[in-house]
A and B are shown apart, each in its own frame.
Chain A
Amino acid sequence: MSEPVQAQEPLHAEEATEINADVDIAPADVGVPVVPEGERLLEVDAVTLRFGGVVALNEVSFHINKGEILGLIGPNGAGKTTCFNVMTGVYQPTSGSVRYLGEPLGKRKKFEITKLGIARTFQNIRLFANMTALENVLVGVDAHHTTGVGSAMFRLPKHRREEAEGYERAMELLTFMGLERKADELARNLPYGDQRRLEIARALATSPQLLCLDEPAAGFNPAEKAKLMELIRTIRDQGYTVLLIEHDMKLVMGVTDRIVVLEFGRKIAEGSPAEIRDNPAVVAAYLGVDEDAS
C-alpha cells in the first residue's frame, strides 16, 4: 500500500478560482418536459406553513418564469429558507400548494422532486465532506441513473455507460466551476469559496430546470460576490432558471430580473429591482420606520 508521490496543489491557492464560462453545462435531457422560455415554471399558491402556533409562511404566492433569475429577499427570519424547504419537499405546506410544471408537488418525496428538476444549495454548506469533489458531483449526476447492485456486480453495459456519462458530465461541471484540478480533493479540504461553487456544481449535476440558491454569497467579500453574480448569470444563460435567496441588496438588484420580498412570513412586495428599491414597505422592512416622521 505505498503512496505514490503526487504533484500537490497548495490547499489555498493564491490565485482565485476562475470559472470557464464557455464549457457547455446545459441541463441534460432527463425525461422531464421542458417549459418554453418565459412560461410559468413553478407557482407558489397561497402557501401557509404553521409550526404549532408559529406562522412561518402566511398565504405566500408568487411564480417563477422559465429562464429568469428571481430574487427572494427579506430580513432575517422572514421565511425565505422555509419557502425553499416547502418547494423542495422538506416541509408540507399547512394549506395552499406548490405547482411545478402545472402539477401540484403534493406529497412527493424529496428525491422525487429533485428528479423532477428542482435542485438546491444550502445556506450553511452541506457537502459530502469526506467524499472527493468529483464524487460529490457524481452523486448529483446519479440522481437520474438506475444502476443497482446487479449491474454494478456484473459490470453490465448499463453500469459502464452511466459511469462514463456521469464522469464526463461531472468533469464538465467541475471545469465550468474552475475546480477540475481539485476533483480529487476531499470536499472538506477545499477552500470556502470552492466549497460554495462545488455545492452549486453538485446541484447543477442533477440537471434541474430550477436551481435554488440559498444565500450563495454568504461569507464572500465584495469582489467574490461580484464574481458569483457573474457566475449566476452564466448559469442562467446556459439554460437554467434561478431562484436566489440573498441578503445583500446591492447584489440582488444587480443580477435579478424580478424580486419577491418576504417579511414575517408574508409577501410584502413583488416587482422589478427598480420597483422594489422605491417600494416604501420594503424600505421600512429593511431600515425600519422612522417613528418621529410618521
Chain B
Amino acid sequence: MSTATPAAGSAATTRRPSFRNRVSSLPKGVKIALWVLFAIFLFLLPMLNIPFVTTEGSDFGGVLFTVSTYVLVALGLNIVVGYAGLLDLGYVGFYAIGAYTVGVLSSQHANLSWIVVVPIAIAAAMVSGVILGAPTLRVRGDYLAIVTLGFGEIVRLCLVNSQWLNGAQGISDIPKPPSAPLFEVPSLDWSGGAPVVDLGTTSTFLKFGITDFVPYYWLGLVVIGLVLVFDILVKNSRVGRAWEATREDEDAAELMGVPTFRFKLLAFALGAAIGGLSGALFATKAGFISPDNFVLLLSILFLAAVVVGGAGNRWGVIVGAIVVGYFPERFRDFADFRVLVFGLALMLLAIFRPQGLLPPRRTVRAKRADEREAVLEEGEPNV
C-alpha cells in the first residue's frame, strides 16, 4: 500500500484525507514491519496448527490452498462485479478454461512444463473473456447476468461432451510444478496443551508432492500477493476511475469521454485471466480434473464470496472468500448439516451486513455522512 501517486503526494498540502491513511497512520517503517510479520504469519499458518482454527477432518494445508484459490477468484471477480459493476454468473467458465488448458497442454495432448503452461492458461482464459465479452457486454444488468450464466454452463457441457477433452472422465496425471527442495519447515504440536516444535512433521520448501499440500498454499499466497499489487496499481489510475464511472452511470460516463465498452471488455478480460490463473493452480494441485469440478454452484459461491465480503473492496472480498472457502471445511464434522449452517451464516450476513463484511470505502463514508446529515437535520438543541 505504499504506491504513492503524484496526486497523493501533493495531497498533504491541500488537506486531502487520503483513504490510504485509513489503513494506519503509523510511520512507514512500522507499517512495513507489520506487513512483513503478517506475511510470515500467513506463510507459517499451516505449520502453527493453531487449535480450533486448524481443520480436524481434512488436511489443513489442502484447505488453506483451496481458500487461496477462492481468494484469487474473488479478487478477479471483484474487478468485474465490484469495480466495473458487471454481474457475472458464469465465472466458473474461466476457472474451468484455465484448469483444462493446463490439463490439455501438460497431460492430455502435450507434455509442456508447468512454467510454460500457466501463462498459456491465463492467456486462454483472457481470450475467452474477450470472446464472451465482445458480443455480450452490449447488454446490461440482468440480461448480462443471464448470458454469463449460460456461458458457465456451456463451458461445462462442452467439457462433458468433448472426446478430445476425455469427456466426463476428465483429465488425470497433471504434472506438478518443478520442485526445488531446499530446507524443511517443522510444525508445532499442541497435543500436550502447549506448543512444542515437532521436527517429525515437516513441510519441505519447496517440494510439490502429492501428500503435503502446504507448498501449494505457499504458491497460492505468492500469486495472491502479485495479483493484489496489480489490482492496487490498476485500480488507482485512469482505468480504475473509468470502471467506477461506468458502474455508477454508464451513459454519463460515455458522455464524459469514457469509452465504456472498451473498459468493460478490459475488466472482463482481466477478471477472466485471474479466474483462469486460479483454475490453473487448482488443476496443478488436484492433479485430476473433470467437468464435475466446475459446476454452477461454484459460480454462485464465487459471487457469494465477493458479495459477502463487500463488492468493490479488495480486502473485503478476500475476507469473503475466506468465509466461503474455509467455513464449510472447518465444520465438516457436521456432515451434511454444514451446508445448512453455511446457508444460515450467509443469510445472517445478508441481514446484518447487507453491504458485505468490509464494505468499500464508498459505503463506509456514505454511512458516516448520512449519520452526520441525520444529526444536522435534528438540529442543534441550543439554536
Residue from the list B6, B7, B25, B254 in contact with A4, Cβ < 8 A? B25
Given contacts A114-B257, A140-B257, contact A6 B7 (CB under 8 A): no
Q: In the bound complex, do residue A139 and residue B241 qualify as a contact, i.e. CB atoms below 8 Å apart?
A: yes
Q: In the bound complex, do residue B241 and residue A138 qualify as a contact, i.e. CB atoms below 8 Å apart?
A: yes
Contact with A along B134-161 (1 / 0, CB 8 A): 0000000000000000000000000000
Dominant SS at the B interface? helix
Q: Is B260 an interface residue (CB 8 A)?
A: yes
Residue from the list B241, B255, B260 in contact with A135, Cβ < 8 A? B241
Residues of A within 8 A of B260 (CB): 111
Given contacts A2-B22, A110-B254, A152-B234, contact A186 B362 (CB under 8 A): yes
B225 to chain A, nearest CB (A): 15
Please tell me which stretch of B192-200, B208-216, B244-252 contacts chain A, meaning at least 4 of its Cβ atoms lie within 8 angstroms of it: B244-252
Given contacts A4-B25, A11-B372, A189-B369, contact A148 B239 (CB under 8 A): yes
Given contacts A130-B244, A142-B238, contact A1 B233 (CB under 8 A): no
Q: In the bound complex, do residue A142 and residue B241 qualify as a contact, i.e. CB atoms below 8 Å apart?
A: yes
Residues of B within 8 A of A205 (CB): 256
Number of residues on chain B facing chain A (CB within 8 A): 51
Residue from the list A3, A143, A163 in contact with B258, Cβ < 8 A? A143
Q: Is B259 an interface residue (CB 8 A)?
A: yes
Q: In the bound complex, do residue B22 and residue A1 qualify as a contact, i.e. CB atoms below 8 Å apart?
A: yes
Contact with A along B1-24 (1 / 0, CB 8 A): 001011100100011110001111
Q: In the bound complex, do residue A111 and residue B366 qualify as a contact, i.e. CB atoms below 8 Å apart?
A: no
Q: In the bound complex, do residue A152 and residue B238 qualify as a contact, i.e. CB atoms below 8 Å apart?
A: yes
Q: In the bound complex, do residue B249 and residue A126 qualify as a contact, i.e. CB atoms below 8 Å apart?
A: yes
CB-contacts of A138-188 with B (<8 A): 138-140, 142-145, 147-149, 151-153, 155, 159-160, 162-164, 166-167, 171, 180-181, 183-186, 188
Residue from the list A120, A131, A134, A171 in contact with B255, Cβ < 8 A? A120
Q: In the bound complex, do residue B6 and residue A160 qualify as a contact, i.e. CB atoms below 8 Å apart?
A: yes
**Within the assembled complex, what's the spacing in Å between the Cα atoms of A135 and B7?**
11
Residue from the list B23, B248, B270 in contact with A129, Cβ < 8 A? B248
Q: Is A12 an interface residue (CB 8 A)?
A: yes
**Within the assembled complex, what's the spacing in Å between the Cα atoms of A64 and B253?**
25
Q: Is A195 an interface residue (CB 8 A)?
A: no
Given contacts A128-B244, A130-B362, contact A139 B230 (CB under 8 A): no
Q: In the bound complex, do residue A162 and residue B3 qualify as a contact, i.e. CB atoms below 8 Å apart?
A: no
Q: In the bound complex, do residue A183 and residue B22 qualify as a contact, i.e. CB atoms below 8 Å apart?
A: no
Residues of A within 8 A of B14 (CB): 171, 180, 183
Residue from the list B10, B25, B249, B256 in contact with A114, Cβ < 8 A? B256
**Within the assembled complex, what's the spacing in Å between the Cα atoms of A162 and B7?**
10
Q: In the bound complex, do residue B248 and residue A181 qualify as a contact, i.e. CB atoms below 8 Å apart?
A: no
Q: Is B180 an interface residue (CB 8 A)?
A: no
Q: Is A10 an interface residue (CB 8 A)?
A: yes
Q: Is B274 an interface residue (CB 8 A)?
A: no
Contact with B along A1-17 (1 / 0, CB 8 A): 11110111011100000
Q: In the bound complex, do residue B256 and residue A189 qualify as a contact, i.e. CB atoms below 8 Å apart?
A: no
CB-contacts of B10-47 with A (<8 A): 10, 14-17, 21-25
Given contacts A131-B241, A147-B237, A164-B6, contact A126 B252 (CB under 8 A): yes
Chain A residue at minimum C-beta to C-beta distance from B362: A130
**Within the assembled complex, what's the spacing in Å between the Cα atoms of A170 and B365?**
21
Q: Is A92 an interface residue (CB 8 A)?
A: no
B371 to chain A, nearest CB (A): 10
Residues of B within 8 A of A90 (CB): 251, 255
Q: In the bound complex, do residue B258 and residue A4 qualify as a contact, i.e. CB atoms below 8 Å apart?
A: no
Q: In the bound complex, do residue A128 and residue B248 qualify as a contact, i.e. CB atoms below 8 Å apart?
A: yes
Residue from the list A114, A139, A164, A203 in contact with B242, Cβ < 8 A? A139
Chain A residue at minimum C-beta to C-beta distance from B364: A3
**Within the assembled complex, what's the spacing in Å between the Cα atoms of A162 and B21?**
23
Given contacts A11-B376, A128-B249, A130-B362, contact A183 B266 (CB under 8 A): no
A20 to chain B, nearest CB (A): 14
Q: In the bound complex, do residue A139 and residue B237 qualify as a contact, i.e. CB atoms below 8 Å apart?
A: no
Chain A residue at minimum C-beta to C-beta distance from B235: A152
Q: Is A97 an interface residue (CB 8 A)?
A: no
A16 to chain B, nearest CB (A): 16
Residues of A within 8 A of B363 (CB): 130
Contact with A along B287-316 (1 / 0, CB 8 A): 000000000000000000000000000010
Residues of A within 8 A of B233 (CB): 152-153, 155
Given contacts A128-B248, A186-B369, contact A149 B270 (CB under 8 A): yes
Q: Is A58 an interface residue (CB 8 A)?
A: no
Q: In the bound complex, do residue A142 and residue B258 qualify as a contact, i.e. CB atoms below 8 Å apart?
A: yes
Interface residues, chain B, with chain A CB atoms under 8 Å away:
3, 5-7, 10, 14-17, 21-25, 230, 233-234, 236-242, 244-245, 248-249, 251-260, 266, 270, 315, 358, 362-363, 365-366, 369-370, 372-373, 376
Closest 6 CB pairs of A and B: A143-B257, A152-B237, A164-B6, A128-B248, A114-B257, A167-B7
Some 29 contacts from A to B, beta carbons below 8 A apart, are A2-B24, A4-B25, A11-B376, A110-B251, A110-B254, A111-B257, A111-B259, A114-B255, A120-B255, A128-B248, A130-B362, A131-B241, A131-B245, A131-B362, A134-B16, A139-B253, A142-B238, A160-B5, A163-B5, A163-B237, A164-B10, A171-B14, A181-B15, A183-B16, A185-B369, A186-B365, A186-B369, A203-B256, A206-B257
